[in-house]
């Protein structure tokens, strides 16, 4: 399916009480003209938040503004397949999907759904992972729960809620900590779920051709007191890569460290290629694509960012150096 015809999917995650449901409520009730299917990815017996839906035996419920809600108590692939079937058969109309994960969920398996099932991956386009971070409680949650750290590590965009309950200094400290963990996700403040629709939909954070934006201050700010399990590092080079060497090295590293690699992404200068090569991965799954051609006279370089749990940074960097073309 051509990308423009695919159904974009947003994964909404965040720790318990961060404000995901408030944001979702606003998306569902606002008159924005989008027809959205919302999937509540609840594992276990507890159903969708009562504020959003009245209790019902139906698994898929159409809202009065054209949005659709469903609860998954198990297989996400199955519910996405059901929605596809109903949409193709004209029984349901929706032009995008939002999946809300449970507060204690690692978003990785949800994101992997779009890579592991060919039919789902060809029909739905994973647009981005949005993580809501509670400014008041996040410092303690990040200290105590690895799930909170993984939610930050996976994010394409961080929505910081409850900033009115803490000082500006606290917000600044938390933002710095988050940037060290995930330098590629812009941070936006949201108040009571009040984020413009344009800031939560059609971000294309997972798009292979998206620009790799990093906060430059992240590289210089190395003094910090938190020893977070989720950390990031960046590799930059103004020499081209040898494609065969790089593929062999990354494949080997992913075999060993894949479970601890949350997200990795790069814009690469490959020897003999007239275009940028854009690659990214989630855990053990890696994909690449041709990006924009290098302009005449443009300075060529490579930038890779790795976000993961206790990764051997020195080993990665030494290995990547070895993959540069002679």
Residue-wise pLDDT for 255-289, tens only, equals 899 888 888 888 899 999 999 888 878 778 787 88
> Are the C-beta atoms of 243 and 323 separated by less than 8 Å?
no
> 67 by DSSP, 3-state: which?
coil
Q: What is the pLDDT of residue 64?
A: 47
Q: What is the pLDDT of residue 249?
A: 94
> 141 by DSSP, 3-state: which?
helix
Where are the domains positioned within the chain?
3-199, 229-322
Q: What is the pLDDT of residue 55?
A: 35
Strand 157-161 to 187-189 pairing: parallel
Q: What is the pLDDT of residue 45?
A: 32
User: How far apart are alpha carbons 154 and 150 in whole angstroms?
Assistant: 6
> DSSP state, 210?
S
H/E element, 286: strand 285-293
Q: What is the pLDDT of residue 210?
A: 52
Can you list the residues of the chain whose pLDDT is less than 50? 43-58, 62-66, 72-74, 218-225
Structure-token pair, residue 143: 């200290």
Angle between helices 146-154 and 108-116 (to 10 degrees): 50
Question: Chain centroid to CA 129: how far?
Answer: 3
Q: What is the pLDDT of residue 206?
A: 72
Q: Is the pTM of this model over 0.85?
A: no
- Which CATH architecture best describes the domain 229-322? 2-Layer Sandwich (3.30)
- Of 77, 81, 20, 95, give the one whose Cα is nearest residue 52: 20
User: How far apart are alpha carbons 290 and 83 in whole angstroms?
Assistant: 31
Q: What is the pLDDT of residue 222?
A: 42
Comparing 3-199 with 229-322, is the CATH topology the same? Answer: no
Q: What is the pLDDT of residue 323?
A: 96
Strand 124-134 to 7-14 pairing: parallel
**Residues 6+ away with beta carbon under 8 Å from 268:** 241, 246, 276, 277, 278, 279, 302, 304
Q: What is the pLDDT of residue 102?
A: 74
> DSSP state, 35?
-
Domain 3-199 matching CATH 3.40.220.10: the answer reads no
């Amino acid at each position: 399916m051509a990308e423009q015809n695919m159904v974009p999917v947003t994964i909404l995650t965040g720790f318990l009480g961060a404000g995901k449901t408030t944001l979702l409520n606003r998306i569902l009730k606002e008159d924005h003209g989008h027809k959205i299917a919302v999937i509540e990815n609840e594992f276990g017996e507890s159903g969708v938040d009562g504020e959003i839906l009245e209790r019902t035996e139906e698994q898929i419920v159409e809202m009065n503004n054209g949005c659709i809600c469903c609860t998954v108590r198990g297989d996400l692939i199955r519910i996405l397949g059901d929605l596809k079937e109903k949409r193709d058969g004209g029984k349901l109309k929706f032009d995008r999907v939002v999946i809300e994960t449970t507060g204690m969920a690692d978003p990785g398996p949800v994101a992997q759904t779009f890579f592991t099932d060919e039919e789902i991956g060809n029909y739905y386009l994973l647009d981005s992972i949005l993580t809501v971070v509670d400014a008041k409680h996040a410092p303690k949650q990040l200290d105590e729960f690895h799930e909170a750290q993984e939610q930050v590590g996976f994010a394409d965009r961080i929505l910081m809620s409850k900033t009115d309950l803490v000082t500006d200094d606290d917000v600044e400290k938390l933002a710095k900590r988050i940037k060290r963990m995930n330098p590629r996700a812009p941070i936006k403040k949201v108040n009571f779920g009040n984020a413009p629709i344009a800031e939560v939909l059609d971000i294309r954070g997972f798009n292979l051709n998206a620009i790799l934006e990093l906060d430059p201050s992240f590289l210089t700010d190395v003094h910090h007191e938190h020893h977070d399990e989720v950390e990031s590092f960046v590799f930059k080079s103004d020499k081209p890569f040898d494609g065969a060497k790089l593929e062999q090295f990354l494949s080997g590293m992913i075999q060993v460290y894949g479970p601890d690699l949350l997200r990795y992404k790069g814009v690469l200068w490959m020897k003999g290629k007239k275009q940028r090569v854009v690659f990214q991965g989630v855990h053990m799954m890696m994909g690449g694509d041709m990006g924009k051609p290098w302009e005449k006279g443009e300075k060529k370089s490579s930038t890779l960012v790795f976000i993961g749990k206790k990764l051997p940074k020195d080993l990665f960097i030494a290995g990547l150096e070895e993959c540069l073309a002679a």
